[in-house]
Amino acid sequence: MNRHREGGIVLLALLLVIAGIGMVAIAAAESTSDELLGARRSVAEGRVAAIAMDARDAWQRNGTLPADLGALAGTCITDPYGRWRFDPFGRGGDLMYRINSNPTGVTVTSCGPDGIAGTADDISFTADLEPGARQHTRGRACALRALYATSRYCDDKRMKGDDRAKLRKAIRSYGAAQRRTRYEEDDDEGDDDDHKGEDDQHHGKKNGRKHESERAEAEDAIESVRKSNGLPELPQRATGPGGLCERLGVPDSRGIDGFGNPFDVVPAGFRSRGADGKGGTSDDQ
């Protein structure tokens, strides 16, 4: 009887040892699986960020975004079919590459650990182009306006000195009013306080109307001086045959803003439609 009892105790002890070993093995396997998943996630995060930044660098150099990963490889990557473009979670497929509208950015995405694109599990990185696009637009618009202000559309040897000064002052006033509108909009968007935001929104609308009035006054002053001095009519568009760029002797490529849209022709010279691409909004430059 004692012998049977001892055998049962030994068997129970063995079962407990085996169960313990099994639990340790399961925990180790789960730990290894988590480590592998974390490593793959790190690879995916690194790849999407690197590709998006490479695309942004290509845009800054060339003024256009590579249309896809193949075009990006032809622009700045020596190994067009290397592992840099593969999704670690995509079963050998490429990472997803998308150019945002206008464009304001480029987004590169991995389908993530679930292997399904378009879910909350995706791993994405967006390189924002808007600050660079605005800087590019501002520099180009300033250069074109300076050329416009000294062209036959704004200057004639028969003009009186004060008319010439009035015209150039009005062109500067138009640009200043447009810049103030844009800067105030940026300040309002950055306000997180609800009540202060409501006050600022009201204040912003009031100032927006003020700046719109300032631009209208500047345009009226420009047109008044131009008409009284018999200066030529402005072309309707900036680019293309007979466009203002052609009339000023500059290539049409100079008449494209940082968002890829042609400048609009206004009495003050050139105006960008901004990131929204609409024209006539506070986003204009």
pLDDT tens for the chain, 285 residues: list them.
555 555 556 665 666 666 566 565 554 445 556 777 788 888 888 888 989 988 888 887 776 788 888 888 877 665 666 778 889 887 778 889 988 866 678 899 999 888 888 888 899 998 888 777 888 888 888 889 889 988 999 888 888 878 888 888 998 888 888 777 665 554 444 444 544 454 444 444 555 577 788 888 888 998 999 898 999 999 999 999 999 999 999 999 889 888 888 999 988 889 888 877 787 777 787
Query: What pairs with residue 110 in β-bridges?
Result: 123
Residue 225 Cα to chain centre, angstroms: 39
For the chain, the structural domain boundaries read 2-128, 131-271
| CATH architecture of the region 2-128 | 2-Layer Sandwich (3.30)
Given this model, what pLDDT does residue 190 score?
Answer: 47
